[in-house]
Amino acid sequence: MKIALLQIISGPDKGENVARASDGIREAAASGATLIVLPEATSQAFDQGRLDTQAEDLDGPFSVGLRDVADELGVTVVAGMFRPADTNGDLNRVYNTALITGRGVHKGYDKIHTYDVASYKESATVKPGRDLVTFVHEDAVVGLATCFDIRFPEQFKALARLGADLIVVPTSWADGANKLLQWRALTVARALDAGVFIAAAGQARPGGRARAGQASGPTGIGHSVVVAPDGRRVAEAGYEPDIVYAEIDVREVENARATLDVLSWPAG
């Protein structure tokens, strides 16, 4: 199975982001990719205005636009978006959703672990999800996680116990001191924890390499990466917009678990 990670920079306009994503999906499909993963916040970048004003359900124009492209090309697409959730005081909260669409699938995963650290509380505007989500693509079971979820190994182990061979992680990771080091360590650790492939598609770094390492909001650090079950980085991008390709062979998952079956230990 050939996968592609589309490392883009989303903007504030949902319609323009659909067009940008669609162009990348077409390029990836033309190169033979059948599973194409885009970043968290593909529909509207963070720090580009209120999320609730462009939030939509799975029958909205962003979701349907990507479904139409995926169906036309015969591929499966995963992309970050926002859906209406509830009201928290004066704030309309959204779900931070990873849309899965194409090949007869059209559903979403709502990010479980919101970024509530120090003085920043994502849960004030984003309602946490509760349910693990998987889907089948060709010969693989694919699990979903989003950005900050990468810090929670039990979610990845739980997805592996549900049969996941590959876990895709749409991301918009913040830059700053040691943030790239943490990102690279966490993606490898989660592959090793669960004995799975990790395919993490991030927003490219606004300003590119010239601003690398400077503190930023959650607007992207690039370094989309595919990690094998044995911890090898199969493919990795830099800071700039890019498309990362990799071949996934689920037999590597079987081999990794036969060598060291970390999932055989009881959960909890």
Query: Of 14, 40, 56, 122, which one is the catalytic site residue?
Result: 40
Residue 147 catalytic? yes
Half-sphere exposure (Cβ direction) of 166: Cα atoms closer than 13 Å = 27
Choice among 14, 56, 111, 157 that is catalytic: 111
Residue 40 a catalytic site member: yes
Task: Spell out the residues 6+ positions from residue 181 whose beta carbon is closer than 8 angstroms to its own.
Answer: none
For residue 100, how far is the Cα from the chain centroid? 10
Cβ neighbour number for residue 20 with a 10 Å cutoff:
19
* Active-site position among 14, 56, 122, 147: 147
Task: Find all residues with CB under 8 Å of 158, minimum gap 6, and list them.
Answer: 132, 267
Phi-psi bin for 113: left (phi > 0), alpha (psi -120 to 50), beta?
beta
CB atoms within 10 A of CB 256: 21
Active site residue 56: no
- C-alpha to C-alpha distance for 216 and 160, rounded to whole angstroms: 33
What's the CA gap between 226 and 36, in Å, rounded? 12
Looking at the annotation, which residues are catalytic?
40, 111, 147
